[in-house]
Amino acid sequence: MEVKNTKVNDGLRAEPENGDFSVPLWLTSGHGALRSLVDPDVFQERMDKECAKSERERTPLSLALIGVEDFPMVRRANREAQGDEVMRVIASAIAACGSSEAIVARYGDQEFAVVTPGDLKDIRAILSQIRASLAYVKYRRAGYPENIPHMLAVGLSIFPYDAANREELFTLADRRLHASRIYESTRLH
């Protein structure tokens, strides 16, 4: 499989120091660039702080759960290591699109979480950047001339409008992510 990453904002790649992607990848973005890799505990801590700040200042906090819909197909059609390379490229594209305050984390085998202060307009702007950035990410199966299309399913929730606490925020976004997998019109192509 050929992986091309002709343009991903500033071209940064999301790679841990040891190169091991068998464990979840946690990313923090800043000013359109990858600032640092953080572990799950740091991610949880930052989420708690952002939720508390949002509640204290009475400002919205948006969460988007993004599922890479074609990732299982890519892994089945190619070697697992090549599927992981595709995921690294997609992770880099998603992380590069966050604002300076956004937290971008790999949230599962084929999902990412994007958390940012702001309302629906703010998270949609980030999702629009992700969509545009991923338009430049191309990958294909070795020996085949066509690129494998990639689709992203998205579930959104906004604190405090949709949820009273952090757990409800994730639960609702997860439900909406699963619903968007059923209804293609809510996917990012």
Domains of the chain: 2-10+23-186 (3.30.70.270)
Radius of gyration of the chain (CA): 16
Q: So what's the pLDDT on residue 99?
A: 72
Q: So what's the pLDDT on residue 76?
A: 66
Residues 6+ apart with CB under 8 A from 185: none
**What are the C-alpha distances in Å from 99 to residues 75, 109, 130?**
30, 24, 12
- How many residues in total does the chain contain? 189
Q: Strand ranges (DSSP E) for the chain?
A: 2-5, 26-30, 33-37, 61-68, 103-106, 111-117, 137-140, 152-159
Q: So what's the pLDDT on residue 145?
A: 63
- Residue 65: both structure tokens together: 């759960």
Each of the 189 residues of the chain gets a pLDDT tens digit; together they read: 333 333 333 332 333 333 333 333 344 433 333 333 355 677 788 888 999 999 999 999 999 998 887 766 666 666 666 667 777 777 777 777 767 788 888 777 788 888 899 999 999 998 888 888 877 766 666 666 666 666 788 999 999 999 999 899 999 999 999 888 877 545 554
Q: Number of C-alpha atoms within 13 angstroms, CB side, residue 1?
A: 21
Tally of helices (H runs) and strands (E runs) in the chain: 5, 8
- Residue 150: both structure tokens together: 């990639």
- The answer to whether 134 and 9 have CB atoms below 8 angstroms apart is no
